Amino acid sequence: MPNRLAHETSPYLQQHAGNPVDWYPWGEEALARAREEDLPILLSVGYSACHWCHVMAHESFEDEKTAALMNRLFVNIKVDREERPDLDQIYQTAHQMLSQKTGGWPLTMFLAPDGTPFFGGTYFPPKPRYGMPGFPEMLERVAAIWRERRGEVDAQGEQVRIAFSRMQPKGSAHASDFDPQPIAEAMSNLRENFDPDSGGWGEAPKFPHPTDIELCLRRYAHDGDGQALGMADLTLERMALGGIYDQLGGGFCRYSTDGTWTIPHFEKMLYDNGPLLYLLADAHAATGKALYARVAAETAAWVMREMQSPEGGYYSSLDADSEGVEGKFYVWDKAEIEDLLAPEEFAVFERHYGLDGEPNFEDKHWHLAVAREADDEALLASARAKVLAAREKRIRPGRDEKILVSWNALMVRGMARAGRVFGNAEWIASARRALAFIRATMWKDGRLFATSKDGRAHLNAYLDDYAFLVDALIELLQSGFEPGDLEFAQELADVLLEQFEDPEAGGFFFTGRDHEQLIHRPKPGHDNATPSGNGVAAFALQRLAALTGEERYRAAAERTLELFYPTMREYPAGFGSLMIALEESIAPPTSIILRGEREALAGWARSLAGEYRPSTLVLAIPSGVQGLPPVLDKPVDNSPVNAWVCQGVTCLLPISDLETLRNTCKQAVVR
């Protein structure tokens, strides 16, 4: 018989619906039972594309004896970290406090009935190995601690709560204190930790760090920092040529298990590919490299082909495993490829992907990464098409088809930016379809729901959902001005201020005022796999203030930066999103407002789109659009197009000649 998870929207929870474990979703039913029976809670957090989550499920949660032990000793709660990032943040942090080790998934935490954690870990094997106890043995130990050492458990719980209360940032800066020093220190940190051979930062496992790449590109645009451009360029180039990128089907995997981007952890996440698509567009605008145009086109095609639902929303992820084996869908036997190709095709393919060397994956298999430039592009293209067609016949990895607002917003932003830079209307249309899905199904009575699947949207949205979507709308406005997009951005921003802002201390909480009360209400500032909600909120609200003239948006962004500024100054690493917001607070963006005939406007906008000016907003607003804020409602004369170049409320005289505008854009006033 299926357990309670059978009725959930999360594919990850549904994967566990047939377990013999008496799983509950997080909610009052489970918490009330724990209180009434004075039982500890076993909280297991994971996600559907997680390889080690699947391993622990097969080894332990599908085992009748282990499940019986869990059911007897605990109230068992299963959480999808993608649907409940609030819970994941809290208990990952608690795990680090209690174990002094980094967290991960699956996360296995033991809680008192009030939600206070007292013990935890990540993956546990079924029998002792890797220096860890077996999971059944560990269950017995934890249950004994709960029964026999309750005083110690309660005392430790109190210390955890005190530690949480001390984690809230306590900044005391004033906007007049702001200077570029934290940004300079952050760049110095990136230079110190940069891998000059393979790009990226740190050692294996190596993650993309998109906000750091974006900060580097912006530093180049801001003050001509060639070293910053070099770090961004080398990182993106090596990723695009490496195995972290799907050389046949497009799209990036979550991270590389080695330092050279060769062998990835094979899951593909929407939240990586949206920002990387945005960066490929920016890097192409900054360098002109054809590689970035090709990889952007292949990634966008993959997104629309495999990750966009018929209704328009973008799915969440593709699994790392197929047929129970990680990477099986992607790796090759050399003889299999040779059989697919003509001799001349194979010769080019073999050299390009280094198949004439030693196999780079398990069991003498190959995972494709570029080793040399192609000898013949036409033959390589023909060979790739044949190999991809053969791969399409394999059993595919599972796809998590839930639709998350925050991750969709990251992809809408990436698609809109890439569509604008590369002049691809299809990508912009894809972004608009996703936005339309969110507005139609996940925006109800002036509030967002965080997740949707099979026609059911639910769960209160989080800071990231609102902040990322405002940011995406501002990008989309530059890809084709729609008054409704600006109105929606303001509605979202108003909820952001009303529900999430701390108006006294500054900054934004991760959960809204009317959200379920948990043991901690975080106010996150660091970037993780996704950008910081506070950083994106500050950035987007500043830009929205520039487009609407609404001072309250700018003031909320300023209060956020004032809160985090002292910490950013003292410990600058990991604050990429807030550094970008700080950069635009110190030197506000330039707005170029184009007014005139629709066709002429499109030509001017295309001309400006390919030039890399990240601190410039370009809005092409056709004549006749009504209800514009005064800062955008510029007069239209008899010229086909009038261009207004503005910083804040100060604008240059209107320009009616494109070449004059381009020359003006080269001056320092427009970055």
pLDDT in tens, 79-104: 999 999 999 999 999 999 999 998 99
Residues 342 and 444 in one domain: no
528-545 pLDDT per residue, tens? 999 999 999 999 999 999
Would residue 670 count as lying in a domain? no
445-464: pLDDT as tens digits: 999 999 999 999 999 999 99
Report pLDDT digits (tens) over 1-21. Answer: 789 999 999 999 999 999 999
CATH number of the domain where residue 60 is located: 3.40.30.10
**Residues pairing with 321 in the sheet:** 326
pLDDT recorded at residue 171: 79
Tell whether 158 and 303 lie within a shared domain: no
Residue range 287-312: average pLDDT? 98
Residue that is last in its domain, among 137, 165, 193: 165
pLDDT of residue 131: 85
CA distances from 591 to 263, 481, 649, 655, 670 (A): 43, 14, 10, 13, 8
Segment 148-159 shows an average pLDDT of 95
Whole-number pLDDT of residue 130 = 81
Q: Are 132 and 43 part of one and the same domain?
A: yes
Q: Dihedrals φ, ψ of 108, to 5°? A: -120, 110
Give the residue carrying structure tokens 């997104």.
303
Asked, for residue 170, whether it belongs to a domain, the answer is no
CB of 388 closer than 8 Å to CB of 340: no
Task: Tell me if residue 392 falls in helix, strand or coil.
Answer: coil
Beta bridge partners of 325: 322
What number is the average pLDDT over the span 394-413?
Answer: 98
Using alpha carbons, select from 600, 591, 585, 609 the residue that is nearest to residue 652: 591
Mean pLDDT confidence for 384-405: 98
Residue 171 domain-assigned?
Answer: no
Q: What is the per-residue pLDDT for 636?
A: 86
What is the C-alpha to C-alpha distance for residues 76 and 133, in angstroms, rounded to an integer? Answer: 20
Structure tokens at 660: 């004059």
622 and 558 co-located in one domain: no
- Please give the DSSP secondary-structure letter assigned to residue 175: G
671 falls within a domain: no
199: left (phi over 0), alpha (psi -120 to 50) or beta: left
pLDDT at 326: 92
Angle of helix 405-422 versus helix 598-609 axis, rounded to 10: 100
What is the arithmetic mean of pLDDT over 318-338?
95
pLDDT number for residue 132? 86
In SS3 terms, 241-293 reads as HCCCECCCCCCECCEECCCCCCCEECCEEHHHHHHHHHHHHHHHHHHCCHHHH
Query: What pLDDT is attached to residue 668?
Result: 46
Enclosing domain of residue 345: 330-393
| Residue 173, in any domain of the structure | no
- 533 with 496, same domain: the answer is yes
pLDDT band at 642 (very low <50, low <70, confident <90, very high): very high
Residues 552 and 569 in one domain: yes
114's CB contacts (< 8 A; 6+ apart) are 35, 519
Residues in the chain: 671
DSSP 154-206: HHHHHHHHHHHHTTS------GGG--SHHHHHHHHHHHHHB-TTT-SBSSSSB
User: Where does the pLDDT of residue 671 fall: very low under 50, low under 70, confident under 90, or very high at 90 and above?
Assistant: very low
Phi and psi of 398, rounded to 5°? -65, 150
* pLDDT in the model for residue 344: 98
pLDDT value at position 18? 97
Could you tell me if 419 and 345 are in contact, meaning their C-beta atoms sit under 8 angstroms apart? no
Are residues 11 and 93 both part of a single domain?
yes
Instruction: Looking at the structure, tell me whether residues 153 and 84 fall in a common domain.
Output: yes
Q: What is the pLDDT of residue 669?
A: 45
Query: Residues 248-258: what's their mean pLDDT?
Result: 97
Burial (CB count <10 Å: 0-12, 13-18, 19+), residue 151:
exposed
- What mean pLDDT is predicted for residues 192-213? 97
d(CA 613, CA 616): 6
List all residues 6 or more positions away from 161 whose beta carbon is below 8 Å from its beta carbon. Answer: 116, 519, 520
User: What does the pLDDT average to over 58-72?
Assistant: 98
Residue 45's φ and ψ, nearest 5 degrees, are -115, 130
Sheet holding 75-80, edge to edge: 23-25, 75-80, 41-46, 107-111, 117-121
Note whether 56 and 67 are within 8 A (CB).
no
The number of CA neighbours under 13 Å toward the Cβ of 528 is 13
Q: Domain count for the chain, please give it.
A: 4
Whether 660 and 634 map to the same domain: the answer is yes
State how far the Cα of 613 lies from the Cα of 222, in Å rounded to an integer. Answer: 8
* d(C-alpha 156, C-alpha 546), whole Å: 48
Q: Are the C-beta atoms of residues 66 and 126 closer than 8 Å to each other?
A: yes
- CATH code at 436? 1.50.10.10
| pLDDT, position 670 | 39
Question: Of 531, 628, 619, whose CA–CA distance to 581 is shortest?
Answer: 531
Predicted pLDDT of residue 368: 98
State yes or no: pLDDT of 420 exceeds 80.
yes
Based on the domain organization, do 446 and 462 belong to the same domain?
yes
**Which pLDDT belongs to residue 440?**
98
- Cβ neighbours of 619 (radius 10 Å): 21
Give the chain's radius of gyration (CA, Å). 26
Calpha distance 619→489 (Å, rounded): 15
Query: Could you give the CA distance from residue 13 to residue 124 in angstroms, rounded to a whole number?
Result: 19
Distances (CA, A) of 201 to 91, 194, 207, 216, 226: 27, 5, 8, 12, 18
- The closest of 505, 614, 553 to 215, measured between CA atoms, is 614
Report helix, strand or coil for 41: strand
Cα 534 from Cα 536, distance rounded (Å) = 6
Amino acid at 525: G
CB atoms within 10 A of CB 598: 11
Q: Do 40 and 108 meet the contact criterion of CB atoms below 8 Å apart? A: no
Residue 667 pLDDT exceeds 80: no
- Segment 198-208, tens digit of pLDDT: 999 999 999 99
CB contact set of 338 (below 8 Å; sequence gap of 6+):
346
- From 442, 441, 440, 412, select the one nearest 427 (Cα to Cα): 412
Residue 362 is assigned to a structural domain of this protein:
yes
Structure token digits, residue 585: 């607070």
Same-domain status, 226 and 133: no
- CA-CA distance, 70 to 218, in Å (whole number)? 51
Q: How far lies 5's CA from each of 12, 256, 398, 656, in Å? A: 9, 32, 18, 62
Domain-located, residue 175: no
**CA 274 → CA 153, 344, 414, 479, distances in Å?**
43, 36, 5, 16
User: CB of 497 within 8 A of CB of 560?
Assistant: no
Identify any residues that bridge with 616 across adjacent strands, giving them in sequence order: 590
The answer to whether the beta carbons of residues 399 and 319 sit under 8 Å apart is yes
Q: What span, in angstroms and rounded, lies between the C-alpha atoms of 113 and 104?
A: 23
Q: What is the mean pLDDT of residues 558-574?
A: 96
Tokens (6 digits) for 146: 């709960």
Residue 665: the pLDDT is 85
Residue that terminates a domain, selected from 552, 586, 620: 586
Q: Domain check: are 214 and 267 in the same one?
A: yes
Quote the tokens at residue 226.
Answer: 């060639």
What is the distance between the alpha carbons of residues 138 and 434, in angstroms, rounded to a whole number? Answer: 45
Domain assignment of residue 98, yes or no:
yes
Q: Above 60 in pLDDT, residue 469?
A: yes
pLDDT of residue 263: 98
Q: To 10 degrees, what angle do helices 483-495 and 463-477 make?
A: 160
User: What percentage of the chain carries pLDDT values higher than 90?
Assistant: 94
Q: According to the model, what pLDDT value does residue 170 have?
A: 85
| Neighbouring C-beta atoms of residue 492, cutoff 10 Å | 25
Alpha-carbon distance 269 to 401, whole Å? 12
Q: Domain boundary at 373, 393, 413, which?
A: 393
For residues 358-384, give the mean pLDDT. Answer: 96
